[in-house]
């Protein structure tokens, strides 16, 4: 059995973090067996190295090793890619094709981003894991394949199982042994070692002196969160190597290559359960609020038209259409002039604009209209509550007599009747 240090040198793995060493140790221990492995960790931590270590140290090392990115294959063709298809199985299948499981018989298949597999493909994969059997697309013949499966994912599999995006039985089949790779921000002592390795590689590649960091720049490098992990660190090392004339880099210059350097605060993890439970209610609430805002904007625009052109027949028709939009017209009757006039009065009161403003003061009234657009959201949303409260008090004061209540409120009895229906009074 090879040592951890020997494996690191063989596969070019840099770092001496305890969790990294434990992951490599587990890979060495499970390599001689045929059990399924699930490699977990964030994107960019180097998960693809673990399957290569396992395959090279196993008795299958002379067989084929095939790496498949499940997230990069379209859902409609992934079954054909993995299991093959018969000629004529679907449009464009002009000849029989062998899938990866048939080609890699006796070897190893690495399924990267396995959490992206569609559910029907998960069922087929589960059958391969259980008894080594699969069926080509468009065929009825059962075939056998002796393949070791190593999978990797950067998503939370338990969350995917709860949301029914991933089969629980397949998860437990894949994760007989789970190997987790730590994110780069938790390997602070390894960050500078990796940077120096990348800087040396790029200096050799581009035939230029090696980039070096000042002590303060090294500290900045170690404090950064590295959302893209090793992949991001490698890209930044390459950028600096190519773009910088000075080969000694200080912290100020390094900051220019680190995005969002001023916002490296701990990430706030949302409560996934609450988000799942209340997402539908929140969407409904947003829709109601947007509809209310749209209706109020229409009311304000129509009021401005009334001020500019008077209560003409055209404006009256628009007024009727707007009333039907907001309050509905269940009884199918036409809206009378008295109701229109009462509604106009109500709108003018909301906007605090005098009904009989002279046209010479039109610009001043327009200013008031645009000022009304800036009313705070909470005040806008409380208009309905205030209206409901006024109607209730008026009805109570007049012992439920609608005519008297309507006169007190300054609206028609018909309008009051509609509002009683609207608020279920």
Q: Partners of 150 in the beta sheet?
A: 37, 110
Torsion of CA 398, 399, 403, 406, to 10 degrees: 50
Domains and CATH numbers, the chain: 4-182 (3.40.50.300), 185-263 (1.10.8.60), 277-381 (no CATH)
Q: How high is the pLDDT of residue 152?
A: 97
Kind plus residue range of the DSSP H or E element containing 38:
strand 37-40
User: Count of H helices and E strands in the chain?
Assistant: 20, 9
Distance between CA atoms of 258 and 244, rounded to whole angstroms?
15
Distance between CA atoms of 60 and 46, rounded to whole angstroms?
22
Query: Environment class of residue 177 by beta-carbon count within 10 Å: exposed (0-12), middle (13-18) or buried (19+)?
Result: middle
For 338-346, the CB contacts below 8 A with 24+ separation are 338/412, 338/414, 339/411, 339/412, 339/414, 339/415, 340/311, 340/316, 341/311, 342/410, 342/411, 342/412, 342/415, 343/319, 343/411, 343/415, 344/303, 344/306, 344/311, 344/319, 345/410, 345/411, 346/410, 346/411
DSSP designation for 90: S
pLDDT in tens, the chain (425 residues): 689 999 999 999 999 999 999 999 999 999 999 999 999 999 999 999 999 999 999 999 999 999 999 999 988 899 999 999 999 888 888 899 999 999 999 999 999 999 999 999 999 999 999 999 999 999 999 999 999 999 999 999 999 999 999 999 999 999 999 999 999 999 999 999 999 999 999 999 999 999 999 999 999 999 999 999 999 999 999 999 999 999 999 999 999 999 876 544 444 444 444 444 455 666 677 667 767 777 777 777 777 767 666 555 555 555 555 555 555 544 444 445 555 555 555 554 544 444 444 444 444 444 444 444 444 444 444 667 777 888 888 888 888 888 888 888 888 887 887 888 787 77
Distance between CA atoms of 182 and 118, rounded to whole angstroms?
27
Per the structure block, which two tokens stand in for 253? Answer: 């210059």
Q: Partners of 38 in the beta sheet?
A: 151, 178
Overall size of the chain counted in residues: 425
For 78-81, the CB contacts below 8 A with 24+ separation are 78/117, 78/118, 78/121, 79/120, 79/121, 79/124, 79/137, 80/137
Beta-strand ranges (E) seen in 181-250 are: 212-213, 248-249
Helix (H, G, I), strand (E, B) or coil at 64: coil
Distance between CA atoms of 133 and 124, rounded to whole angstroms?
9
Whether the CB-CB separation of 4 and 26 falls below 8 Å is answered with no
Q: What is the pTM of this model?
A: 0.61
């Amino acid at each position: 059995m090879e040592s951890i240090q020997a494996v690191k040198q063989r596969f070019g793995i840099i770092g001496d973090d305890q969790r990294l060493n434990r992951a490599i140790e587990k890979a060495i221990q499970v390599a001689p067996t045929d059990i399924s492995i699930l490699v977990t960790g964030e994107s960019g931590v180097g998960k693809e190295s673990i399957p290569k270590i396992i395959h090279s140290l196993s008795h299958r090392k002379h067989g084929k090793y095939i790496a498949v990115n499940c997230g990069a294959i379209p859902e409609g063709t992934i079954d054909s890619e993995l299991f093959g298809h018969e000629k004529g199985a679907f449009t464009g299948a002009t000849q029989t094709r062998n899938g990866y499981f048939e080609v890699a018989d006796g070897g190893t298949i690495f399924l990267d981003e396995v959490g992206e597999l569609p559910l029907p493909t998960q069922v087929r994969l589960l059958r391969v894991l259980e008894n080594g059997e699969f069926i080509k697309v468009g065929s009825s013949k059962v075939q056998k394949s002796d393949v070791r499966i190593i999978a990797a994912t950067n998503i939370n599999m338990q969350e995917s199982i709860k949301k029914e995006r991933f089969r629980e039985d397949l998860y437990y089949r894949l994760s007989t042994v789970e190997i987790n790779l730590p994110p780069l921000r938790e390997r602070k002592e390894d960050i500078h070692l990796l940077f120096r390795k990348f800087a040396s590689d790029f200096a050799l590649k581009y035939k230029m002196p090696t980039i070096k960091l000042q002590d303060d720049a090294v500290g900045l490098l170690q404090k950064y969160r590295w959302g893209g992990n090793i992949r991001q660190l490698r890209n930044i090392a390459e950028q600096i190597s190519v773009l910088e004339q000075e080969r000694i880099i200080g912290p100020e210059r390094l900051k220019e290559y680190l995005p969002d350097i001023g916002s490296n605060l701990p990430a706030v993890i949302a409560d996934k359960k609450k988000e799942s439970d209340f997402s539908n209610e929140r969407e409904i609430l947003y829709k109601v609020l947007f509809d209310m805002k749209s209706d109020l904007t229409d009311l304000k625009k129509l009021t401005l038209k009334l001020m500019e052109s008077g209560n003409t027949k055209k404006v009256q028709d628009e007024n009727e259409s707007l009333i039907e939009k907001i309050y509905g017209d269940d009884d199918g009757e036409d809206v009378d002039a008295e109701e229109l006039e009462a509604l106009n009065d109500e709108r003018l009161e909301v906007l605090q604009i005098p009904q009989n403003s002279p046209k010479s003061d039109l610009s001043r009234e327009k200013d008031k209209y645009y000022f009304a657009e800036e009313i705070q959201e909470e005040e806008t949303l409380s208009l309905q509550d205030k209206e409901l409260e006024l109607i209730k008090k008026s009805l109570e004061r007049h012992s439920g007599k609608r005519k008297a209540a309507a006169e007190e409120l300054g609206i028609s009895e018909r309008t009051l009747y509609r509002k009683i229906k609207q608020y279920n009074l």
